């Protein structure tokens, strides 16, 4: 199990490193959007490629940063119900959720995304919009993103099983939810005033 935990730490490090760098593409998308709007209003000209570039940048962040979201335990779940359950049950739900839902979905998306991407490359698929971008690089993000998510899911499964066996402390046990922390901060600010 120790070798699996070492593998998990390596996956986590890669996921965090990748996510922190790719998240900056949101800023790039905002800048592209703002410049596109300014050019359109000031010079009365525009290009579909700028609009499509915004979509591609957002797609990169959404698909390639989702493993980072899973790593930081910030993915969507019903926290109110989840917190009322005993820890052992929550851990079991995580294991079943990863094995029955997350991993099969990732595998299906990788398998079905392959031909979708390859066909796009074969025909050198271009945007249907005048001046648009090639489509195949964006379609590759489906395979890449779901592969990264599958690998991070394996890491999360390894850690959850190790937590259930008592081999490691729960990496999310002492972590304060971002929304809860913000609410606490706002309450403190209101109480001071």
102-151 residue pLDDT tens:
999 999 999 999 999 999 999 988 888 887 788 899 999 999 999 999 99
Give mean pLDDT, residues 33-43.
Answer: 90
Residue 126 pairs in a beta bridge with 134
Domain span at 51: 2-175
Percent of the chain with pLDDT over 90: 50
Q: Is residue 164 one of the residues assigned to a domain?
A: yes
Instruction: Indicate the average pLDDT of the chain.
Output: 87
Q: Is residue 158 part of a domain?
A: yes
Q: What pLDDT band is residue 177 in, cutting at 50, 70 and 90?
A: low
Q: What angle do CA 69, 109, 159 make, to 5 degrees?
A: 40
Mean pLDDT for the stretch of residues 12-17: 95
> What stretch of H or E contains 87?
helix 87-96
Within-domain flag for 186: no
pLDDT category of residue 180 using cuts at 50, 70 and 90: low
Q: How far is the C-alpha of 14 from the C-alpha of 66, rounded, in Å?
A: 13
Q: Which of 87, 89, 83 is nearest to 180 (CA)?
A: 83
Higher pLDDT, 85 or 37: 37
In a domain, 184, yes or no: no
pLDDT confidence of 175, banded at 50, 70, 90?
low
Q: Residue 47: left (phi > 0), alpha (psi -120 to 50), or beta?
A: beta
Q: Is the pLDDT of residue 24 over 90?
A: yes
The pLDDT of residue 79: 65
Q: Indicate whether 187 belongs to any domain.
A: no
Least confident of 13-27, 39-53, 148-162: 39-53
Higher pLDDT, 127 or 180: 127
Q: How far is CA 177 from the centre of its chain?
A: 17
The pLDDT, as a whole number, for residue 140 is 94
Assign 45 a pLDDT band (cuts: 50, 70, 90). confident
Structural domains counted in the chain: 1
Instruction: Flag whether 182 is in a domain.
Output: no
Residue 188 lies in a domain: no
pLDDT of residue 12: 93
- pLDDT of residue 22 exceeding 70, the answer is yes
Confirm whether 191 is domain-assigned.
Answer: no
Q: Is the pLDDT of residue 88 over 90?
A: no
């Amino acid at each position: 199990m120790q070798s699996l935990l070492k593998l998990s730490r390596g996956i986590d490090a890669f996921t965090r490193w990748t996510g922190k760098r790719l998240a900056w593409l949101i800023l790039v998308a905002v800048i592209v959007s703002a410049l596109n709007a300014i050019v359109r209003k000031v010079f009365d000209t525009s290009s579909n490629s700028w609009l499509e570039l915004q979509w591609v940048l957002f797609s990169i962040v959404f698909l390639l940063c989702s493993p980072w979201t899973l790593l930081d335990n910030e993915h969507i779940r019903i926290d109110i119900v989840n917190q009322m359950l005993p820890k052992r049950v929550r851990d079991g739900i995580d294991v079943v959720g990863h094995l029955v839902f997350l991993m099969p979905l990732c595998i299906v998306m990788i398998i079905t995304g392959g031909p979708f991407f390859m066909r796009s490359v074969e025909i050198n698929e271009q945007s249907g919009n005048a001046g648009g971008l090639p489509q195949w690089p964006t379609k590759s993000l489906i395979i890449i993103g779901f592969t990264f998510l599958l690998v991070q899911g394996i890491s999360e499964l390894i850690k959850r099983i190790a937590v259930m066996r008592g081999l490691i402390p729960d990496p999310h046990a002492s972590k304060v939810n971002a929304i809860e922390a913000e609410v606490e901060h706002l309450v403190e600010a209101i109480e001071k005033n």
